[in-house]
Structure 1
Amino acid sequence: MRDLRPLTVDRVPDLAGDFALCTFWQTVPHNGHVLARAPEEVLRDWVHEVTADWGPPGRIAYVDGMPAGNVLLAPARHVPRLAAFPTAPSDPSTLMLLTVRVNADQQGRGLRKVLVQAAVKEALRHRVRAIDVIAARPLAVSRHPCVLEAAFLENVGFRVTRDHPVYPRLRLDLRTVVTVREEAAAAVRKVLAKVPGLRPVPDTRPDGVTPARTAHRP
C-alpha cells in the first residue's frame, strides 16, 4: 500500500532509504573540503526554511509503512547549488524539481512517476505555471545521484527550455497539463451525454464551481 506524505522536519531521516542523506542541492560546492555539518542537520534546517517561506518542499512515499522514495522541489531561491550550473534560472521564484529517488526494491514499479505527479499536484496547489529542473545528459560522466537524468524527465513530459550538452534545464508547462486534463474530462462528459437514461446533475467543488456530471435518472 502506497502513502504519500509531506516532507516535514521530523521526516527528514526517512529521506535516506537506500541512499545516504543527500545535501547536494542544499549546499554550495565544497571545493574538496569536508562539510562541517551533519547532512541531517543541513536538511532539517533547509526543510524548516522552505516550509516557512513556501510550504513543504516535497513528498515521501511509504510502501507498507516503510519509506520507499521521495521527491524534492523548492523555489530557486532556496537551492544554493544552482549557482554552479550555467543553465540555472535567473528568476529566484522559479519552482525547481530537485530530485526523485526510489529504493532499489521499487525500481520499475512506477513509483518515480507517481512522485513526479505528486510534485505537479503541489505546484498546481501553489498556482505555479511551470516546474523547471537541471538534468544530466549521458556526457555527464560523474553525474551526482541527486541530479536527475534528462531521458527520464523527457519521458514524463519535460521539455528542454535552455539547452546544454551536459546539464540542460528542462521545463514542464503545467498550463498544458491542466489543459490536457480538462480536455479529457470534457471528452468523457461528451460521450456520457449520448448515453440514454443519463442526465447532468450539479457537482459542487470546494471552490464553489458546479460543473455538470452525469447520473442515472431516478
Structure 2
Amino acid sequence: MAARITQLRLQGFEQLPKHARRCVFWEVDPSTLPGDDHLADPEFEKEAWLSMVMLEWGSCGQVAIPCGPEKDADPDTEAPCLGYAFYAPPRAVPRAGLFPTGPVSADAVLLTTIGVESGDDTETLPRGLVAAVVADLVRRGVRALEAFGRTAEAAQLTDPRHVTPELRAVVRALGDCSAEQCIVDADFLTDVGFVVVADHPYFPRLRLELEQGLGWKAGVEAALERLLETAQLREPVGAGASPCS
C-alpha cells in the first residue's frame, strides 16, 4: 500500500496500532511498579508520556499513513497507521537508564521503537521512518541519534528470573511488551548507517552522527523522497483525486 510519512500529532494517538498505544516498555521503569508489573491503563500512560514529551521537547514520533485513491475517496475517514517510530531525549525514557551499555551520550536523542504493521512494506517503511526521524532532528540541530539494538541472541532472554542481574531490568516485560518486540533489531540499525559504540552480546548501543554523516543523510533523505514519489505515482491524479502531500 502506498504511504506517506508525517509527524505524529497527539490527536492522532487513536490511529496508532494497538500495540503502539499500549506499549510502555520504554516509558515506564518496571522497578517503580508492584511485583506483578501490572499497569491499570497502559494506553493512558503512553498518551500521557507522548503529551509530556511533545509539550516539553517537541515532536517525538513519525507515522506512516496510507496515500492513495482509497483514502482520497473519503477524506473524512481517519487514516490507519501503517508504521511508526518513536524517539526522545534519553532523560525522558526511564528504561534507557537500565541498559548495561548505557548511558546514552549527552549530545544524542534516543530512537526507541520502530514498528510496521504485519502485511505492510516491512523493508521500505522502516528505512523511510528512520529517514523522517533524521530529517526532523537535523532541522532541530541535534548532533546524533542513538539506539539500543537487539541481537539475534537476545531472543533467548525471555524470563527475567533466569538472566544475570545486569539484564534483569532490561528484559522485564510490561503487559504485552517484550524486549524482542520493543527493541530495534541491531542488524537493521547497522544496515541504515548506525555504528556500534558500546558492544554487547545482547543489547549493543549504536550511534548515527547527524553532523558528520552527510552522505548517509543525503542517502536516507533521497530514499524518503523516493518513497513519497512512489506513493504519488501509484495514485492517479485527476478525476477529483488530489496528489498525496
TM-score relative to the length of structure 1 = 0.75
In the alignment, the residues of structure 2 paired with residue 181 and residue 98 of structure 1 have an alpha-carbon distance, to the nearest angstrom, of: 19
Cross-structure match for 2:116: 102
Compute the displacement of 1:27 (Å). 0.7
Residue 92 of structure 2: aligned partner: 78
In structure 2, what is the Cα distance between the partners aligned to 1:182 and 1:117? 9
Deviation of 1:17 (Å) = 5.3
Per-residue deviation, 1:35: 2.9
Q: CA deviation at 1:115?
A: 0.4
Cα distance in structure 1, aligned partners of 2:86 and 2:7: 10
1:158 aligns with 2:167: no
Aligned to 2:206: 170
Query: In structure 2, the residue corresponding to 1:96 is in which secondary structure?
Result: strand
Matched residue, 2:71 = none
Which digits, 9 at most, give the CA deviation of each residue in 1:134-177, with x for residues without a partner? Answer: 11111212333010110111111111011111111000111233
| 2: CA distance, partners of 1:169 / 1:67 | 28
Match of 1:25 in 2: 26
| 1:127 aligned partner | 141
> Any stretches of 5+ residues in structure 2 without a counterpart?
68-78, 159-178, 220-245
Superposed CA deviations along residues 94-153 of structure 1, whole A, max 9, x for unmatched, are 300011100111144410100010110111011111100011111212333010110111
- Between stretches 10-19 and 63-72, larger displacement belongs to 10-19
**Aligned position for 2:82:** 68
Distance (Å, rounded) in 2 between the aligned partners of 1:46 and 1:19 = 13
- Secondary structure at 2:211 match in 1: helix
> Conserved in 1, the CA contact under 8 Å of 2:13 and 2:21?
no
Question: What CA RMSD, in Å, does the superposition of the two structures yield over aligned residues?
Answer: 2.3
* Structure-to-structure mapping, 1:41-56, within 5 angstroms: 41-56=44-59
- State whether structure 2 residue 102 is matched by structure 1 residue 88: yes
For residues 170 and 91 of structure 1, do their structure 2 counterparts lie closer, same or farther at Cα, with a shift above 3 Å needed?
closer
1:131 partner letter: L
Aligned partner of 1:118 in structure 2 is 132
Higher mean C-alpha displacement, 144-153 vs 90-99: 90-99
* Pair 1:18–1:89, CA change in 2 (3 A): closer
Give 1:83 deviation, angstroms: 2.0
Matching residue's letter, 1:125: R
> What's 2:7 paired with?
6
Indicate if the aligned counterparts of 1:14 and 1:60 stay in contact, CA closer than 8 A.
no
Percent identity, please.
31
Which of the two has greater strand per residue? 1
Q: How many angstroms apart in 2 are the aligned matches of 1:177 and 1:80?
A: 28
Which structure is higher in RCO with an 8 Å CA cutoff and minimum separation 6?
Answer: 2
Contact conserved, 1:87 with 1:162, CA < 8 A, in 2?
yes
Whole-angstrom distance in 1 between the partners of 2:144 and 2:20 = 29
Normalising by structure 2, what TM-score? 0.68
The structure where helix makes up a greater share of residues is 2
- Letter of the structure 2 residue corresponding to residue 10 of structure 1: Q
Inter-CA distance 181–3: structure 2 relative to 1 (3 Å threshold):
closer
Partner of 1:190: none
